[in-house]
Amino acid sequence: MPLIRIEPVRDERSGRYYLEIYSPHDAPAPYVTTQPRYQSAAAAENDVVAILAAAASTARNS
């Protein structure tokens, strides 16, 4: 069962993508929303994976 849900969303004004992070995964509104800074949905998804991987790596090395 997923604990969080991450969705890339296109900002109509800027044309860039931002992330909505839902916790728990079935929450009706996002827990966190980033600024629209990504050129594509794939770039947004790759960035969040890199952030999570870096945080997990740091946590293990502490």
- Spell out where 1-62 has E strands: 5-10, 17-22, 32-33
Distance of CA 31 to the CA centre of its chain: 11
pTM beyond 0.85? no
Q: Give me the pLDDT at residue 58, please.
A: 83
* Domain parsing of the chain, residue ranges: 5-61
pLDDT digits (tens, 9 = 90+) for 1-52: 779 999 999 999 999 999 999 999 999 999 999 999 999 999 999 999 998 8
